[in-house]
Amino acid sequence: MPTDGLLKKTAIILAVMIGLTLGIGSMLPDEFQVERTLVVNASPDKVWPHISQLAKWPKWDPWSHADPQIQHKFVGEPGVGHMMHWAGPSSGRGQFETVESTHQESIGFKLTVPQVSEPRFLSFKLVDLGGKTQLTWLMRGENSIRPIGNYFGLGMDRYIGPMYEQGLSNLKSLIETGKIVLPKSDSRPKPVQ
C-alpha cells in the first residue's frame, strides 16, 4: 500500500502548489501599462500626421516591417472613429479604432485582437518643447483570465516595450530624415497583445 501514501502526498503537494499559484496571482495587479517616451526634433504639427493618420502607420510601426505579408485596411477619415484592420501570418489580426483626439496634443485608440477578450487602449501624448516634441506612446489594459493572466501582465513591459522603442525610433527617424533604418534582425514580430 505504499503507492496510496505516495499518491496522497503528491495530491496534497499539487493542491498546495495550485493554491499558492492562484493566491499569489490574485494579489498581483489586474492591469498592466507599457510606456515609452522620446524627443523628436520637430514641432508637434510635423509629428501629428504620422500618428493621427492610420494609413501612415505601416511606414514606421515595427509590426508592419517585421511581417512583410501583413495586409492593412483603413476605414473612415482621421479623427474619432477612424479605423485600421490588419492581418498577417506573423502578426495575427486585429484592429485599431481612434476613440479620442485632441489636435496635436493627444490621441487614443482602442486595440482589439481576437485572442484577447479585453480590449487594450493605446495613446500618444505630444508635448511641445519649442521646435521639438516629447512623444509618449502608452498602452494599458486589463489582464485576461485572472488570476493566472496577472502573471503575464508582469511581463508585458519586457514583451511589448522593445517594440514600442523601435516604433518610436522609426518614427523619429522618418520625421527628422524622411527615412528609417530598420534593425538587422530576422526575429519574427510579437503578436500585438
Quick check: 30 pLDDT over 90? no
Domain 30-177 has CATH 3.40.640.10: no
**How high is the pLDDT of residue 150?**
45
Whether 85 contacts 93, CB under 8 Å: yes
Alpha helices (H) in the chain, listed in sequence order = 2-27, 44-52, 57-60, 62-66, 148-154, 156-177
End-to-end CA distance of the chain: 50
> Per-domain residue ranges for the chain?
30-177
Lowest mean pLDDT among 5-9, 34-38, 160-164: 5-9
Q: pLDDT (tens digit, 9 = 90+) per residue, 56-104?
A: 999 999 988 888 899 999 999 999 999 999 999 988 899 999 999 999 9
Q: Reply yes or no on whether the pLDDT at 140 is more than 50.
A: yes
Whole-model pTM: value is 0.75
How confident is the model over 142-190, as pLDDT tens digits? 766 655 554 455 567 787 889 999 999 999 999 999 988 766 554 444 4
